[in-house]
Amino acid sequence: MLQLEDMQLLRALGVSQSLAAAARLLDLTPPAVTVRLQRIEERMALRLATRAARGISLTDEGQRLVQEAIDILERIESIPSRVSGESSGVSGHLRVVAPFGFGREYIGPLVRDLHRSHPNLAISLILVESPLAAASGADAVVSIGHVKGSSWVGHFLAPNNRILCASPALARSLSKLKHPSELTRYDYLTLRENDEDVTRLRFTQHDAAGKRLSKAVTVRLNSALSSNDGTVVRDWAVNGLGVVARSEWDCARLIAEGKLVKVLPAWHLEPAPVMALTPTRQGLTIRQRVFLEAAKQAFSPAPWRS
């Protein structure tokens, strides 16, 4: 028979990418987690997890058992609010990781409103430069753009284009540009994050129906100024120090106010949709489902397009 601590271990395994990450959630050592998992497998006479190149991988039986453990624990943890008659049955602790700028602007208010709707739900919002690098133990990670080469499962939240823009004065001197290759003569303001090659931009052209008109064009731009803070880079662009590629969520208001102007508007950069990432698609907790539902409602329609 499974004990309460066994189900807690199974839940930790379900949201972790490795035994070490599960151990951190449970405040145990990795060897202790390994021993307890082996004992559960012996009692169940089932193989629940296998070691993989990137950590552990749950078997089909393991995934089903994790979901059963999550459901039982959530019912146990919601007993106080159900017995007391409180309307909010969502409790426990939700851990959310998000990037600095977007997190301050949108995820902070989202978490505030979510807690008001579910006062028994404790929420930790961690804002970092590279969300996936700090994702261990998180219930959900908010990411700008598709994540490549990751085992995390993406849930689409909102559209978000990347826009090449500059101050009005600089944009006037760029108004005669016809092709992205001509941008190499101008200063580019670089946002350095996630170890990406950020001075290499890929452009495409599309007709009114969205059909691509020609092959994609890749251009490496020259950068004298760079920062790991998007707000700093954006403000440099407003001050006329160079051209910048910024997310629509961050620059749409400034474009509407005339503080920034689109450069080469006939050419488009690859979009960077707003995504919520979870460790698995199956076995989501009530807390994760509540967060995803609240996020999808908050970004429908996308605030930067309304």
Cα–Cα distance, 243 to 251 (Å, whole number): 13
Mean pLDDT score of the chain: 87
| Residue 23 in this model has a pLDDT that exceeds 80 | yes
Return the CA Rg of the chain.
23
H/E/C letters for each residue in 186-241?
CEEEEECCCCCCCCEEEEEEECCCCCECCCCEEEECEEEEEECCHHHHHHHHHCCC
Mean pLDDT of 206-215: 70
Q: What are phi and psi of 76, to 5 degrees?
A: -65, -45
Exposure b/e, 126-147, CB count within 10 A at least 16 = b: ebeeebbeebbbbbbbbbbbeb
Return d(Cα 102, Cα 252) in angstroms, integer.
Answer: 13
- Which of 170, 187, 164, 162 minimizes the C-alpha distance to 239? 170
Query: What backbone phi and psi angles, to 5 degrees, belong to 6?
Result: -65, -45
Tell me if 97 sits within 8 A of 130, measured CB to CB: no
Among residues 135, 75, 9, the alpha carbon closest in space to that of 285 is found at 75
Task: Look at residues 137, 115, 171, 164 and name the one whose alpha carbon lies nearest to residue 279.
Answer: 137
Highest mean predicted confidence (pLDDT) among 5-9, 70-74, 274-278: 274-278
**pLDDT tens digit sequence for 255-287:** 999 999 999 998 999 999 999 999 876 668 888
Asked if pLDDT for residue 195 goes beyond 60, the answer is: no
Look at residue 137 in the predicted model and tell me its pLDDT: 74
Cβ-based burial of 231 (10 A; exposed 0-12, middle 13-18, buried ≥19) = middle
pLDDT at 82 over 80: no
pLDDT, position 250: 95
Q: Which pair of structure tokens corresponds to residue 160?
A: 């978000």
* Six token digits for residue 89: 């049955």
The predicted-structure confidence for 131-152, as pLDDT tens digits, reads as follows 887 787 788 999 999 887 677 8
Instruction: Count Cα atoms within 13 angstroms, Cβ side, for 212.
Output: 9
Weakest-pLDDT range from 65-69, 84-88, 128-132, 240-244:
84-88
Q: Which of 247-261, 276-290, 291-305 has the lowest mean pLDDT?
A: 276-290
pTM passes above 0.85: no
pLDDT at 81 over 70: no
d(CA 189, CA 183): 12
pLDDT at 100: 92
Virtual torsion, Cα 97, 304, 294, 137, nearest 10 deg:
-10
Residues in the chain: 306
d(CA 178, CA 203): 12
Amino acid at residue number 186: Y
Longest Cα pair distance anywhere in the chain, in angstroms? 74
- Residue from 302, 190, 294, 187 nearest 253 by CA: 302
Look at 4-8, 98-102, 208-212, 236-240 and tell me which has the smallest mean pLDDT.
Answer: 208-212
Residue 132's SS3 state is helix
Tell which phi-psi region holds residue 283, choosing left (phi > 0), alpha (psi between -120 and 50) or beta.
Answer: left
> Which range, 15-19, 207-211, 239-243, has the best average confidence (pLDDT)?
239-243
Give the residue, 75 or 186, on which the prediction is more confident: 186
Handedness of CA 50, 54, 55, 58 (dihedral sign): negative
User: For strand 200-205 and strand 267-269, is the pairing parallel, antiparallel, or unpaired?
Assistant: antiparallel
Regarding predicted confidence, which is higher, 56 or 126? 126
Which pLDDT does position 68 carry in this prediction?
Answer: 84
Write phi, then psi, for 42 (nearest 5 degrees): -65, -45
Beta bridge partners of 218: 202
